[in-house]
Structure 1
C-alpha cells in the first residue's frame, strides 16, 4: 500500500489525485489530521486514517501495512518542522515500509538563509541515515507564493517588497504529478533528486512586467529595505516571526539560492512545466473585479 500524508493539503491532495489515475484506490491510503475532511477519498475506496506528526503514536495506525510512504513535509515553521517530519519518517520505518519519500526543497542546506531550507536539510539527513530505500524530492519554490503578494500589488499598482533575485517558480500541480510518478515508476527517482523546477528564472521585476501584461495596467516593482518592509508588514498585522520568516525567502533569493533550474522535472513529466505566466493568469482571474 502507498501511504500519503497531508492528503487534504494543497500538495498532498494533488498527489493522491495523480495516484488514483495510476493505481487502484484500494492500494492507496492517506494519513490526515481530520478524517472528516477526507470523506470523499474514503468514498472512492481510499483507506483514510487519522495521523498527526506531532502525535507520533497515531502514525503507527495510519501507516499500518505501508510498502511506501510519502511524507509531505510538515507545514510548520522552525526546528519543529524538521522534528515533525523526522517523527513521520521514523513511523514509516517502524511500519515496515520498504521505501520512504519526503517532500524536500531545492534549497535544502544547513547553511540556507531560508529557514525551511535548513529544516529540510535536517530531515533529509535523518532520512538518509535510515536503513530503507528513500527519495528526497527536492521541489522548486512554489509559484503559489504569488498569492500572498499579488492582491496588494493589484490594489496599489506596486510590488513593494525587499530586494530579491531570480527564482525557479514551480507549480504545485507539476510537483504533485512528479511525486506520484516517483511513487509508481520504480527507479524514476532515488535518493536526493536533482532540483525539480520549472525552467524559467524570474525575479519580482519580471513578475510585475507579466502581471502588467495580463491586466493591461502598469505594475511597478519597488524595492524597499528589509527593515522598512518588516515594519510595514507588522504594522499591517503580520506577526513579527512571520515577517522574519518571509524575509528569509528574500535573503535566500538575492543570495542566489533559488537561481537554479534543472531539466529533471520536465523529463519526468514528459511535457513542458507550467509557466509562471499561466500561474499568474490563474491567480489574477481569481481576484475580485476592480473599478
Structure 2
C-alpha cells in the first residue's frame, strides 16, 4: 500500500488524484487531520485514516500496512516543524514502510538564506539516519503566477525585489511526477530535483508577457525595504514579509538556478514552460490593463 499524508492539501491531494490513474484505489491510503475532508477519496475506495504529525500513535495507525509513505512537508508558523517531520518519519519506520518519500525543496543546501531550507536539510538528515530507503523530492517553486509575479495584469508592471533565475514548475506536474515515482515506474535513493527544464527571471517573464499580450509589460526592481513596506500595507505581517524576502535573496544568490531534466523524463513530455503558464493565465483573466487608461 502507498500512504500519502496531507491529502486534503494542494500537493498531497493532487498526488492522490494522479495515483488513482495508476494503481487500484484499494492500494492507496491517506493520512489526514480531518477525515471528513477526504470523503471524496473514501467514496472512490481509498483507505482514509485520521493522523496528524502531532500524534505519533495516530500516525502509526494511519500508516499501517504501508510499503511506501509520502511525507508531505508541513506545519504552521511557530511549530517545531522538524520535530513534526521526525514524528511522521519514525511512525513510517515503526509501521514497517520499506521506503519513505518526502516533499523537500529545490536548493535545500547549507547556506541557502531562505529559512525553510534548514527545515528540509534537517528532515533529509533524519531520513538518512533511519536505515530505511528514502527519497527526497526537491520540488521547484510551484506557486501560482499570481503569487510569483504580483498583479501585473492590472498594473502592466512586474514590481518585485531583485531576483535570480528560477526553474518555476507547475504544481500539478510535480504531483504527476510524484505519482509516477510512488507507482514504482522509477526508483530513486536520496535527493532528486523536480524542476522545469529552464530557469527564468522576472525580466524573462516581462518579455514573455509583452510578446503574448502585444502590450509592454515592464519589470521594475523594488527596493527590499520598500517591498516589505508595501507588503505590510497590503496586510502581510512584517515577520512574514521579511521571511518571504529570504526567497528573493536566495534566488539572487543562485540557490534556485539549477534546472533538472528529471521532471520531463518522469512525465514523458516537456513540462509546461513559463510562456505556457502565462498564456493560460492571460486566457483565464484577460490581458493586462493599459496603464494610460488607469492613470
Change (3 A) 1:260 1:99: same
Query: Could you tell me how far apart the structure 1 residues matched to 2:187 and 2:174 are?
Result: 14
- Structure-1 residue corresponding to 2:194: 196
1:119 aligned onto 2:122: no
- Structure-2 residue corresponding to 1:25: 25
Q: Is the 8 A contact 1:181 1:188 kept in 2?
A: no
- Structure-2 residue corresponding to 1:48: 48
Q: 1:160 aligns to what SS in structure 2?
A: strand
Query: Could you tell me how far apart the structure 2 residues matched to 1:290 and 1:263 are?
Result: 32
Q: 2:101 aligns to what SS in structure 1?
A: strand
- Structure-2 residue corresponding to 1:83: 83
Q: 1:188 aligns to what SS in structure 2?
A: coil
Q: Could you tell me how far 1:77 is from its partner in structure 2?
A: 4.7
Query: Could you tell me how far apart the structure 2 residues matched to 1:55 and 1:280 are?
Result: 41
1:72 aligned onto 2:72: yes
Query: Could you tell me how far apart the structure 2 residues matched to 1:196 and 1:149 are?
Result: 18
Range with bigger deviation, 245-254 or 73-82 = 73-82
Q: Could you tell me how far 1:84 is from its partner in structure 2?
A: 2.1
1:147-166 matches, within 5 Å, as: 147-150=146-149, 152-166=151-165
Query: Could you tell me how far apart the structure 2 residues matched to 1:282 and 1:43 are?
Result: 32
Query: Could you tell me how far apart the structure 1 residues matched to 2:80 and 2:128 are?
Result: 19
Which of 265, 280, 283 aligns to 1:282? It is 280
Across the aligned residues of Structure 1 and Structure 2, the Cα RMSD in angstroms comes to 1.9
Q: Is the 8 A contact 1:265 1:273 kept in 2?
A: yes
Query: Could you tell me how far apart the structure 1 residues matched to 2:121 and 2:39 are?
Result: 34
1:15 aligned onto 2:23: no
Q: Could you tell me how far 1:82 is from its partner in structure 2?
A: 2.5
Q: Write out per-residue CA displacement over residues 161-194 of structure 1, whole angstroms, 9 at most, x where no aligned residue.
A: 110010011111221111111112265222222x
Q: Write out per-residue CA displacement over residues 69-92 of structure 1, whole angstroms, 9 at most, x where no aligned residue.
A: 000111545773322222211111
Q: Could you tell me how far 1:259 is from its partner in structure 2?
A: 0.6
Number of residue pairs aligned between Structure 1 and Structure 2: 289
1:1-291 matches, within 5 Å, as: 1-77=1-77, 80-142=80-142, 144-150=143-149, 152-185=151-184, 187-193=186-192, 195-287=193-285
Range with bigger deviation, 33-42 or 251-260 = 33-42
Query: Could you tell me how far apart the structure 2 residues matched to 1:113 and 1:208 are?
Result: 26
Q: Is the 8 A contact 1:212 1:219 kept in 2?
A: yes
Q: 1:168 aligns to what SS in structure 2?
A: coil
Q: Could you tell me how far 1:151 is from its partner in structure 2?
A: 5.2
TM-score (norm 1): 0.93
Query: Could you tell me how far apart the structure 2 residues matched to 1:108 and 1:40 are?
Result: 34
Change (3 A) 1:37 1:167: same
